[in-house]
Amino acid sequence: MDDLLAFLQARLAEETLAAAGASSGPWSAWRGRPGLGPGFGDLAFGVTLPGQGAGDVAAIATRSWTDAEHIARWDPVRALALTAVLREAVDSFHGEGREGWIIMALGEALYSGHPDWQAEWCP
C-alpha cells in the first residue's frame, strides 16, 4: 500500500503543477466563431481564457461543442481544488478497510493507464 500511496502522491503533485502553470480560470466555452487563424480551418467552438476578448484567438479550439464545454469546465481552479481534496484523502490514509478500497479504486480509476501503474495494487 505504501507504493500505491507514493505513486498517487506523485501523480497528484504532477496534476497540481500542471494546473498551477496554466492560465487561471474561469475559462468559458463559446460557439460560432469560425476562422480562428492558420491551421484552424472552420472550427466553430473554443475556449476563451481570462483576459481574452471577443475577437481574440482562443488558446484552445475544437470542432466539438462538447469538447469546448468540457475543457472550460475543467479549468485550473477546479483542477486545483480537486487535486487538493484527493491529496488530503491520500495523505490522511492510515489503514486498510474501506478507506483502503477507496484509495485503490481512486488510483485505478485515474491512473491505470499510467506507465508506472502496477495492476497488483488493485486485486
Per-residue pLDDT, 29: 83
Of 14 and 122, which is predicted with more confidence? 14
Highest mean pLDDT among 3-7, 31-35, 46-50, 55-59: 3-7
* pLDDT tens track for 45-99: 777 777 776 556 566 777 788 988 998 898 888 999 999 999 998 988 877 677 7
Task: Compute the average pLDDT of residues 26-45.
Answer: 64
* pLDDT tens track for 96-112: 677 788 888 999 999 99
Long-range residue pairs from 23-26, CB within 8 A, at least 24 positions apart, any chain: 23/49, 23/50, 23/51, 23/59, 23/76, 24/50, 24/75, 24/76, 24/77, 25/50, 25/75, 25/76, 25/77, 25/78, 26/50, 26/72, 26/75, 26/77
- Residue ranges of domains in the chain: 1-22+75-123, 23-72
